[in-house]
Structure 1
Amino acid sequence: MVNPGKRMHILQALLALRHGPGAAILPPEITRIHMDFALKWNDGHLGPRKFWKMCLPRLKFWNPAVPMLVNRTSDQSAPAKMSIYFRQAALGSDTPSALTTKLSELPLARQPHSSTSNEHPAPEPEEGERVVTIDMKNVHSDDILNEFLTKTGATLVHPTPDEQVEMRQLEELQEKAAVDRAIMKKYIDDVKREERILAIARQEADAIKMAND
């Protein structure tokens, strides 16, 4: 049986992944998402980095079938751009489903994947696709998310009543844990202070004894 503390941590991690910024279901016409930004946060790349860290995992959780690639570069002066690919209303002969099949047939080493060395910048849309871009450079992650939701028409996911109860219970447990930590810290600090006082008293007693010998 999982102990209550471990269960609480697992539940907390699951709820944090399921709900929060980026928890949204994408419309079926979105075929893939691609992010390009620099490795470090400075020079306007903080917003994209925070979106990648905080929002993209939730988007992937709710949309596991949608490929989401992140291409990063060491060039801090490079643009920061998100590319959102949509299925066209009138499909050509090379539909996104056919494209997916074609990509899956490539050797693993040649398949597009996330990169930290600018190996896979955003490609041009395939036949039967159109692309919508978001300029993320010098933009706060909240504003990136708002523009993303507007341009994709994604549907926000809200906690169920049971999940809301679990969230409140977790908050109460976290508040209680914070109080318990504060009490324990005070106890430990008091013990250490008493030990220091005793050590000083012993040193003074030893000094007096040596002076009288």
Structure 2
Amino acid sequence: MVNPGKRMHVLQALLALRHGPGAAILPPEITRIHMDFALKWNDGHLGPRKFWKTCLPRLKFWNPAIPMLVNRSDQQAGPATMSIYFRQTSLDPTSPSSSSTSSSTSPSSVAAAARNMLPLAQQPKSSTENEHPAPPPEAGERVVTIDMKNVHSDAIFSEFMAKTGATPVHPSPDEEVEMRQVEEREERATVDRAIVKKYIDDKRREERMLALARHEAEAIKLANQ
């Protein structure tokens, strides 16, 4: 049987990944997302860094097929930009079936398929040495950018949702119950930790006082010899 404490920790981590800022389903027109910002948080890069830490993992959880690449550099004075690539839809007012057929064989779809067919070692990866800056849009793609520098992560996420038209993911009733249980357990754990800490601190203070009393007693004994 799984330890209840371990199960609760796993549940807490899963709920934290599934819900919160960044929990959203992106429209099928989005082909990839690219973030470009500095390694350190200062000089206006705190918001992008927090978005990367908190929102991007949830976006990737709900949209695993969409490439999300992060390019970082040591240029703190440089820009902080998010590039969102969209597949351009056909402007020909034909029937829905022909429109869907043309979009499925669009140049951007072919390019995306070609990227995914590359060996893993040759596919673009996130970088901490400015190795993969945002590429220009390919044929059949358009790119929308968000200036993230000196912007709070919440504002970045709000602009991201507005420009992508993503659908927020809300917890189910069962998940809301589980989230309340996790929160209540964490509150009880905080109280328990405070009680244990006070007990340990009191015990250590008592031991120090006993040690000091023994030392003074030995000093008095030596002085009276």
> Quick one: distance in 2 between partners of 1:25 and 1:206?
73
Question: 123, 142, 146: which is aligned to 1:111?
Answer: 123
CA drift at 1:8: 0.9
> Quick one: distance in 1 between partners of 2:196 and 2:127?
45
> Quick one: distance in 2 between partners of 1:79 and 1:103?
27
> Quick one: distance in 1 between partners of 2:4 and 2:17?
20
Q: Map 1:1-213 onto structure 2 (within 5 A).
A: 1-90=1-90, 94-213=106-225
> Quick one: distance in 2 between partners of 1:65 and 1:159?
22
CA drift at 1:104: 3.2
> Quick one: distance in 2 between partners of 1:167 and 1:46?
28
CA-to-aligned-CA distance 1:97-132 (integer Å, 9 cap, x gap)? 211222234454442221111111111111111111
> Quick one: distance in 2 between partners of 1:107 and 1:178?
48
CA drift at 1:195: 0.8
> Quick one: distance in 1 between partners of 2:53 and 2:158?
16
Which contiguous aligned blocks of 4+ residues in structure 1 show a shift greater than 2 angstroms? 91-97, 104-111
- Partner SS for 2:15: helix
- Partner SS for 1:125: coil
> Quick one: distance in 2 between partners of 1:110 and 1:208?
78
Instruction: Pick which of 203-212 and 93-102 moved more.
Output: 93-102
CA drift at 1:94: 4.6
> Quick one: distance in 2 between partners of 1:183 and 1:159?
33
What amino acid is the match of 1:193?
Answer: R
- Partner SS for 2:75: coil
> Quick one: distance in 2 between partners of 1:73 and 1:197?
54
How big is the alpha-carbon RMSD for the aligned residues of Structure 1 and Structure 2? Answer: 1.4
- Partner SS for 2:159: helix
User: How has the CA–CA distance of structure 1 residues 105 and 157 changed in structure 2, closer, same or farther, with 3 Å as cutoff?
Assistant: closer
> Quick one: distance in 1 between partners of 2:49 and 2:108?
28
What amino acid is the match of 1:100?
Answer: A
User: How has the CA–CA distance of structure 1 residues 104 and 25 changed in structure 2, closer, same or farther, with 3 Å as cutoff?
Assistant: closer
> Quick one: distance in 1 between partners of 2:122 and 2:171?
39
Note the residue ranges of structure 1 that are not aligned, 5 or more in a row: none
> Quick one: distance in 1 between partners of 2:172 and 2:46?
32
- Partner SS for 2:86: strand
> Quick one: distance in 2 between partners of 1:155 and 1:107?
32
Q: Percent identity?
A: 76
> Quick one: distance in 1 between partners of 2:193 and 2:118?
54
Does the 8 Å contact 2:60/2:66 carry over to 1? yes
- Partner SS for 2:137: coil
What amino acid is the match of 1:169?
Answer: Q
User: How has the CA–CA distance of structure 1 residues 165 and 108 changed in structure 2, closer, same or farther, with 3 Å as cutoff?
Assistant: closer
What amino acid is the match of 2:214?
Answer: R
TM-score (norm 2): 0.90
> Quick one: distance in 2 between partners of 1:71 and 1:42?
17
